[in-house]
């Protein structure tokens, strides 16, 4: 059971100093997370960060692509098991190591990690010809297995200082399914990829969150094997609330949680006063809870998306706004 209206983050932070980012997280967030730091290094962007160790991966002048080598792939697949772990090095994820140093000899009740989802990963990572690896069946499956090995290592690492682990699968491309850009992407295959990774995470004993920062097919998404749905509630609440039956079933029958991203991480943050943001969020929660009362027991608060694109001052404002919103409930 997660305490209602706990605060957590999506993953990315704008700080360059890893220790400062970690200290900020531990100060403000009830469910701390390790920071992804894209301004610290190109390798901390959501595709490069989880590409380390992938067979055939090439890093070249701040670019990353996958070179298909049948011999390497066959050898890698022949040695793969679901016990395989693929570690992060400090070069790719310094935040997880700095957080571990800060929490040395401590035990957290709950801690959150994250991984780029297999759909976003395979549609964003290109092969040497510039084609998304999603469209190569072998590479798509290798990437899914690789992500499992990354998350396996991450969970075991986080268990060194936390009793309970949550892993968010970050799938921003979910919002674009069905658009002209991704018209050839199969919906069933997309859901299979996400469900496969989610089921794998659950098997480790960790909770599974799914983050989508756009407008998704909420009926389909709420039916996935996840424990927490995280989304941009600042922009997309009105589209989401239409699915009242599915929301109620997710919260009650599946014992799920909604992580409401009511605090914007876009330019809207600069154009609005605190009270405008907070009162809008409060009004929306009260509106939905009048029809689905369990919302009060099964809600978390987050930023609308990662904070990596903000400046440091605005990121601290987001943290403060989350605390202020929490105090209203």
Is there a domain that residue 112 lies in? yes
Residue 125 lies in a domain: yes
pLDDT reading at 44 higher than 80: yes
Q: Is residue 1 part of a domain?
A: no
Within the chain, residue ranges assigned H as helices are: 18-28, 70-79, 94-102, 118-124, 137-158, 187-203, 218-222, 233-240, 244-252, 268-271, 274-289, 312-327
With respect to residue 96, please indicate whether it lies within any of the assigned structural domains: yes
What is the tens place of the pLDDT at every residue in 115-157?
Answer: 999 999 999 999 999 999 999 999 999 999 999 999 999 999 9
Burial class, 33, CB count within 10 angstroms (exposed 0-12 / middle 13-18 / buried 19+): buried
Residue 319 has pLDDT above 90, yes or no: yes
3-state DSSP call for residue 108? strand
Q: What is the pLDDT of residue 320?
A: 97
pLDDT at 189: 95
The pLDDT of residue 182: 80
Q: Specify the pLDDT at position 1.
A: 82
Structure tokens at 201: 């995470």
Q: What average pLDDT does the chain have?
A: 95
24 in a structural domain: yes
- Would you place residue 214 in the very low, low, confident or very high pLDDT band (cuts 50, 70, 90)? confident
The fraction of the chain above a pLDDT of 70, given in percent, is: 100
State pLDDT tens for residues 166-190: 999 999 999 888 777 788 898 899 9
What are the tokens at 221?
């998404």
Positive or negative torsion for Cα 311, 314, 320, 324: negative
What is the tens place of the pLDDT at every residue in 53-98? Answer: 999 999 998 899 999 999 999 999 999 999 999 999 999 999 999 9
Per the document, the length of the chain is: 329
Provide the pLDDT for residue 62. 87
- What pLDDT is stored for residue 265 in this prediction? 96
> Which pLDDT belongs to residue 73?
94
What integer is the mean pLDDT of 209-219? Answer: 91
| Cα–Cα dist 324/329, whole Å | 9
Q: What's the structural domain count of the chain?
A: 1
User: What's the CA gap between 29 and 45, in Å, rounded?
Assistant: 22
pLDDT at 216: 84
Other Cβ atoms closer than 10 A to 184: 7
Segments forming the whole domain that contains residue 12: 6-327
Q: Which one, of 235, 229, 237, 293, lies nearest residue 266 by Cα? A: 235
Neighbours of 128 (CB within 10 A): 11
pTM score: 0.96
pLDDT of residue 178: 72
Mean predicted confidence (pLDDT) in 7-32: 97
| CATH number of domain containing 200 | 3.20.20.210
Residue 114 has pLDDT above 90, yes or no: yes
For residue 88, being part of any structural domain is answered with yes
Q: Are 207 and 164 contacting, i.e. CB atoms less than 8 angstroms apart?
A: yes
**Residue 37 located in a structural domain:** yes
Closest to 193 in 3D by CA, of 134, 113, 136, 150: 134
**pLDDT single digits (tens) 238-295:** 999 999 999 999 999 999 999 999 999 998 899 999 999 999 999 999 999 999 999 9
């Amino acid at each position: 059971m997660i305490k209602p209206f706990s605060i957590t983050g999506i993953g990315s932070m704008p700080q360059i100093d890893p220790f400062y980012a970690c200290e900020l997280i531990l100060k403000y967030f009830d469910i701390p997370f390790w920071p992804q730091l894209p301004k610290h290094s190109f390798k901390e962007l959501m595709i490069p960060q989880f590409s380390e160790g992938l067979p055939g991966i090439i890093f070249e002048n701040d670019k990353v692509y996958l070179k298909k080598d049948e011999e390497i792939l066959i050898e890698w697949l022949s040695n793969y098991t679901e016990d395989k772990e693929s570690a992060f090095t400090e070069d790719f994820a310094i935040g997880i190591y700095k957080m571990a140093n800060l929490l040395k000899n401590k035990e957290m009740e709950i801690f959150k990690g994250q991984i780029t989802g297999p759909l976003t990963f395979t549609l964003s990572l290109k092969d040497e010809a510039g084609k998304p690896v999603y469209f190569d069946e072998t590479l798509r499956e290798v990437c899914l297995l690789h992500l499992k090995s990354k998350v396996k290592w991450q969970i075991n690492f986080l268990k060194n200082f936390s009793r309970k682990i949550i892993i968010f699968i970050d799938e921003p491309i979910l919002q674009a399914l069905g658009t002209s850009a991704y018209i050839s992407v199969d919906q069933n295959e997309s859901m299979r990829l996400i469900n496969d990774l989610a089921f794998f995470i659950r098997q480790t004993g960790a909770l599974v969150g799914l983050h989508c920062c756009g407008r998704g097919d909420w009926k389909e998404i709420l039916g996935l094997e996840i424990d927490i749905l995280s989304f941009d509630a600042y922009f997309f609440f009105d589209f989401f609330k239409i699915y009242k039956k599915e929301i109620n079933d997710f919260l009650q029958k599946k014992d799920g949680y909604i992580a409401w991203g009511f605090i914007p991480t876009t330019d809207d943050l600069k154009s609005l006063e605190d009270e405008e943001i907070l009162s809008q969020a409060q009004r929306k929660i009260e509106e939905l809870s009048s029809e689905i009362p369990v919302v009060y027991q099964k809600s978390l608060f987050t930023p609308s998306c990662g904070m990596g694109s903000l400046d440091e001052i605005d990121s601290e404002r987001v943290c403060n706004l989350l605390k202020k919103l929490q105090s209203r409930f």
